[in-house]
Structure 1
Amino acid sequence: MGTTEALAKHLLEFMGGANNVVSVTHCATRLRPKLRDRSAVDVGKIEALDGVTGIVDKDSGIQVVIGTTVGEVYEAFIGELDVNHSESNDKNLETTESKEKHLLNDFVGLVVSIFSPLLPLLAGSGLLRGFTILANELGWLSTESTTNLMLTLAATSVFYFLPLLVAVTSANRFKTSPFIAIAVMGALIMPDFISLIQGDGGNMISFLGISIPVFNYTSQVIPAILTIWVQSKMEHFMKKKLPNSLHMIVIPTILLLLLVPIAAGIFGPLGNYLSIGIANAVGWLANINQIVTGAVIGGIWNILIMFGVHWAPNTMVIIPEIARTGSSAFIAYGANANFGMAGAAFAIFLRSRNQKLKNFSLTAITSVFLSGIVEPAIYGLGVKFKTPLIAGCIGAALGGAFMGAFDVVGNAFVFGGLTTIPAFAGPTLWAYIVGLAISFLGGLILTIVLGVKDPEAEMSNIKK
């Protein structure tokens, strides 16, 4: 396998060069370039590169599946972009073609760019919370101790201050001041503001004679995203219209003066009502029948990942639910998708006579178990050979149904793997582990039974 720098150089070359790349972001496993001319990309050559696991190829653009080293590749790619980019063209300028509307892709790209920087923190805090709960369950740590309190605060502060964290990443995404963003959203979680809230919120207060409802905005993300988007528009406008000598004083003053009331009176309540609506919809879905819900979520999750749209439910449903309630059943159901595909990969490892494919299958399994990353199995095996994807989805549905029957929940936003099991500590931990085993065995057995017809797989028959 080549170096990261070599991979980045080839990626840029096969994407049509620096002038063809408008911008680039990445999520946990994928490089997501935004391109001027889609036809200039050589998808076949990109897919053949060592270090590239797969390609999500759409009319609106491509997503290059790298895996857990995507951050390193991204940094190297940015370096190549800066070195090779023509000074006569700004890499962030939009062309007419790149502005073509693809609403779902644009939305997913937005949430990926906002939440991706927070994933390590969310995962780390989730594991710490899981280990703390596990220690409580085993009787190693008293829930009344100050040690337990400190560990709980360390693990849950990320959710209390989530509006501030999202304000920072949103500011980076919208190219506006992150410090002003923190100050604006910080006003809504200060103790004096919290003291205005009565009961569950919704009571009215007066600002300049105007009545506005107040709610608790700790753990909420929608108000932060909307407010910082408006901040970016206002800041960019004022920078163009005001003399440079006034920027340092006038712009922060005006933004604080206007945005705090706007956030408190408009975007805060709007985000709160949207969050309540989403929460009610999720609750309604979950209460129809937990077994069916678990089966459906487990069964379709790999498909959502395959098309790159799983970030919508992740960020709009699962993360807010965990921030609000401290747990989510959906994060548990989705973990079955990883183990269903791991089981399918293990079947190929056991039955294939193609040594290169066996080695790749083992890599895909390791990726799931150690990091909860399933894309190598999906693109390298599932999409390529079809039946492993079908088997993995069915196996995941079986595991999800089992978890639904026992009301399994997760305590944090983590990717489903062996290393993240502590995040599911609690009374239903046993059912979570059994559900993962069902998914793995389901994917394994069904892949062997269905077989892989592609001769490249060189699958041996069950019977000699």
Structure 2
Amino acid sequence: MGKYDDLIPFIFDNIGGRKNIISSNHCATRLRLKLGDASKFNEDKLKNNSLIMGTVKRDNEVQLIIGPDVDKVYSLFNKECNKSEFDNQVRQQKRRRKNLKSYGTSIVDFISGTFVPVLPILVAAGLVSAVLNILVTFFGVSTTSGTYTILNTVNNAGFYFLPIYIGYSAAKKIGINGMMGMFLGAILVHSAIDGVKGLSFFDLAIPITTYNTTTIPVIFGVLFMALVDKGADKVIPDAIKFFLKPLIVILITVPITLILLGPLGNVVGGYIVSLLGLMFDKMGWLSVGILGGLTPLLVMTGTNQALFPLVFAMMAESNYDSFVLPAMLAANVAVGAGALAISLQEKMLKNGPWPFQQALLE
């Protein structure tokens, strides 16, 4: 039996069961749940479980702090949820009229569910670049060697093929075939399309657009693909759906994405970068400080996930992010320093000051 097998039924017992779950998601450390009746959330019992580090409750949205193994817990949680009883409840909840707040929550949930699964790729690719720089600078690895070529390719592949990873993740999050989202991302970065001049589709001109390292164009494409997918599901007979549906979906989605949605996504990404650049230029270090100060609040509410598209847009445009990530790094260091200070203070109150603390007090 796995470490978390007993945790899943324990969670269900203390959140009101499957029927009380509207949606589930996770970030780097937290299992995030939206409940139909928040009064059934037994915070005291959940906090006392040794596998749960803490809880956060905000209206009918709750968070269970699991730690770095949250993806394992989420996977087990989803397996338990993927039963007809749960699916029917979700469908019933989705039929209810949504207010503005619920739409905002849905948008943040979609962004979080799309970008968080891709983060390990970007972390690995970015750290490989750091390792490569160390090898070249301090260990004399030649830039013409096979070692350099392989590690440099690992780094480049993490970012160059970003539309493929995002396409898969977005499609899975929105509830359609993830492979079709991946397929769309692969089409966009194909050398015959990516940044190519003079393309047309049935005499309709296709704007010159560079898709590698971008995120917004493929997200727009996948959102449109979901609409086509649901429409095709209704009209195509079941007997031929397996063969005909993927053909119809991709033949409609690709031209619309290349002609309209992809270029539009690049324009939106450019505006986002320009807006952040303007804010940084006008406010300088203060803009980083403001975002850093807001980061703990953003993390607690889950809205920090909405900043990932901004990071990727800036990296695609400028190859670096001088705003969001530095601000979050400063916030994390500050929180860590605060936690360390509290820890030392508690130990001092319990055991008396350590020698260096006594020296500081004197």
| Whole-Å separation in 1 of the counterparts to 2:311 and 2:9 | 36
Deviation track 1:203-227 (CA, whole Å, cap 9, x = no partner) reads: x754323334221011111121121
Q: Which residue of 1 aligns with 2:354?
A: none
Q: Which residue of 2 aligns with 1:396?
A: none
Q: Which residue of 2 aligns with 1:149?
A: 149
Asked if 1:131 corresponds to 2:131, the answer is yes
Q: What's the TM-score once normalised by structure 2's chain length?
A: 0.87
Secondary structure, in 3 states, of the residue corresponding to 1:5? coil
| Gap runs ≥5 in structure 2 | 352-356
| Whole-Å separation in 2 of the counterparts to 1:299 and 1:108 | 20
| Whole-Å separation in 2 of the counterparts to 1:180 and 1:223 | 15
- The one-letter code matched in structure 1 to 2:63 is Q
Secondary structure, in 3 states, of the residue corresponding to 1:193? coil
Q: Which residue of 1 aligns with 2:290?
A: 296
- The one-letter code matched in structure 1 to 2:88 is D
1:265 pairs with one of 244, 259, 278: 259
Equivalent pair of 2:28/2:67 in contact (CA under 8 Å): yes
Equivalent pair of 1:12/1:80 in contact (CA under 8 Å): no
| Whole-Å separation in 2 of the counterparts to 1:98 and 1:34 | 16
Equivalent pair of 2:195/2:211 in contact (CA under 8 Å): no
Q: Which residue of 2 aligns with 1:325?
A: 318
Deviation track 1:244-278 (CA, whole Å, cap 9, x = no partner) reads: 12212221222222111101011101101000001
- The one-letter code matched in structure 2 to 1:90 is N
Q: Which residue of 1 aligns with 2:121?
A: 121
| Whole-Å separation in 2 of the counterparts to 1:97 and 1:278 | 33
Q: Which residue of 1 aligns with 2:196?
A: 196
| Whole-Å separation in 1 of the counterparts to 2:132 and 2:326 | 18
Q: Which residue of 2 aligns with 1:159?
A: 159
Equivalent pair of 2:228/2:253 in contact (CA under 8 Å): no
Number of residue pairs the alignment of both structures matches: 352
Secondary structure, in 3 states, of the residue corresponding to 1:328? coil
Q: Which residue of 1 aligns with 2:276?
A: 282
Per-residue deviation, 1:99: 4.3
Q: How do 1:74-113 and structure 2 match up within 5 A?
A: 74-82=74-82, 87=85, 90-95=88-93, 99-102=98-101, 103-113=103-113
Equivalent pair of 1:18/1:86 in contact (CA under 8 Å): no
Per-residue deviation, 1:165: 0.8
| Whole-Å separation in 2 of the counterparts to 1:15 and 1:299 | 32
Per-residue deviation, 1:74: 1.6
| Whole-Å separation in 2 of the counterparts to 1:187 and 1:86 | 35
| Whole-Å separation in 2 of the counterparts to 1:38 and 1:45 | 15
Equivalent pair of 2:8/2:76 in contact (CA under 8 Å): yes
| Gap runs ≥5 in structure 1 | 198-203, 359-447, 449-459
Per-residue deviation, 1:353: 4.4
Equivalent pair of 1:5/1:77 in contact (CA under 8 Å): no
Asked if 1:187 corresponds to 2:187, the answer is yes
Q: Which residue of 1 aligns with 2:170?
A: 170
Per-residue deviation, 1:152: 1.3
| Whole-Å separation in 2 of the counterparts to 1:136 and 1:332 | 25
| Whole-Å separation in 1 of the counterparts to 2:96 and 2:180 | 33
Per-residue deviation, 1:311: 1.0
| Whole-Å separation in 2 of the counterparts to 1:42 and 1:168 | 35
- The one-letter code matched in structure 2 to 1:326 is N
Q: 1:40 to 1:99 in 2, by over 3 A?
A: farther
Per-residue deviation, 1:293: 2.9
Q: Which residue of 1 aligns with 2:36?
A: 36
Q: Which residue of 2 aligns with 1:59?
A: 59
Q: Which residue of 2 aligns with 1:247?
A: 241
Deviation track 1:146-173 (CA, whole Å, cap 9, x = no partner) reads: 4323211111212111111111111211
Q: 1:285 to 1:139 in 2, by over 3 A?
A: farther
Equivalent pair of 1:226/1:267 in contact (CA under 8 Å): yes
Q: What's the TM-score once normalised by structure 1's chain length?
A: 0.69
| Whole-Å separation in 2 of the counterparts to 1:206 and 1:335 | 45
Per-residue deviation, 1:333: 2.9
Q: 1:243 to 1:37 in 2, by over 3 A?
A: same
| Whole-Å separation in 2 of the counterparts to 1:342 and 1:5 | 31
| Whole-Å separation in 1 of the counterparts to 2:186 and 2:140 | 37
Secondary structure, in 3 states, of the residue corresponding to 2:16? coil
1:340 pairs with one of 329, 334, 339: 334
Deviation track 1:160-213 (CA, whole Å, cap 9, x = no partner) reads: 11111111111211222233333333222211223623xxxxxx7543233342
The worse-fitting range, judged by mean Cα deviation, of 245-254 and 188-197 is: 188-197
Q: 1:250 to 1:65 in 2, by over 3 A?
A: same
Q: 1:31 to 1:253 in 2, by over 3 A?
A: same
Per-residue deviation, 1:97: 5.6
Share of identical aligned residues, percent? Answer: 25
| Whole-Å separation in 1 of the counterparts to 2:66 and 2:171 | 26
Secondary structure, in 3 states, of the residue corresponding to 1:23? strand
Q: 1:179 to 1:6 in 2, by over 3 A?
A: closer
Q: 1:143 to 1:208 in 2, by over 3 A?
A: same
| Whole-Å separation in 2 of the counterparts to 1:216 and 1:89 | 39
Asked if 1:214 corresponds to 2:208, the answer is yes
Q: 1:195 to 1:273 in 2, by over 3 A?
A: closer
Q: Which residue of 2 aligns with 1:316?
A: 309
